[in-house]
């Protein structure tokens, strides 16, 4: 390999990593918290692109345990019900194929950050807190476009 070939090779490698870095930094960044001590999220609507990388941080500013659970359309009520049965040992979450992404059960004044890939099918994906009794009001919609 002569010097010119090596220079071209280095340029190609540099271009590749620059491209890879720019792609990696394109993850959508979402931040959500409870609304004070109410059984509400402070954000009830997010929009992301289909198949997009998402980084979500749930900052539990309240004095209760909560989580953030993304559900397949039409399944939030069942997941909330099943999560009561799942019990404290399972973090009050019935994990199954309709749970598309979730934080851990976050203790008061703690945060959890998760990375996931947005659904590839456009639509409205409900998110809930699956702690018993919270999902009726502690919910929102992640819109995938």
Q: Is 108 left (phi over 0), alpha (psi -120 to 50) or beta?
A: beta
| Residue 130 · residue 79 · CB < 8 Å | yes
Q: Which is nearer to Cu ion, 15 or 45 (CB)?
A: 45
Number of residues that bind Cu ion (CB under 5 A): 5
Question: What is the C-alpha to C-alpha distance for residues 62 and 59, in angstroms, rounded to an integer?
Answer: 9
Q: How many CB atoms within 10 Å of residue 31? A: 14
* 47-76 binders of Cu ion (CB under 5 A): 66
Supply the minimum distance, in Å, between the C-beta of residue 58 and Cu ion: 10
Any contact of residue 135 with Cu ion (CB under 5 A)? no
Could you say which of 54, 58, 134, 142 contacts Cu ion (CB under 5 A)? 134
In the complex, the residues that contact Cu ion under the rule CB under 5 A are: 66, 129, 131, 134, 138
């Amino acid at each position: 390999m002569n010097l010119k070939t090596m220079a071209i090779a280095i340029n190609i490698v540099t271009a590749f990593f620059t491209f890879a870095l720019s792609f990696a930094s394109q993850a959508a960044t979402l931040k959500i918290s409870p609304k004070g001590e109410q059984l509400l999220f402070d954000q009830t609507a997010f929009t992301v692109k289909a198949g997009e990388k998402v980084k979500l941080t749930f900052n539990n500013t309240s004095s209760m345990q909560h989580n953030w659970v993304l559900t397949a359309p039409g399944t939030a009520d069942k997941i909330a019900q099943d999560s009561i049965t799942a019990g404290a040992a399972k973090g009050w979450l019935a994990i199954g194929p309709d749970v598309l992404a979730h934080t851990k059960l976050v203790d008061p004044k703690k945060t959890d950050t998760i990375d996931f890939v947005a659904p590839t099918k456009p639509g409205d994906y409900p998110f809930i807190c699956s702690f018993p009794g919270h999902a009726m009001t502690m919910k929102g919609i992640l819109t995938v476009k």
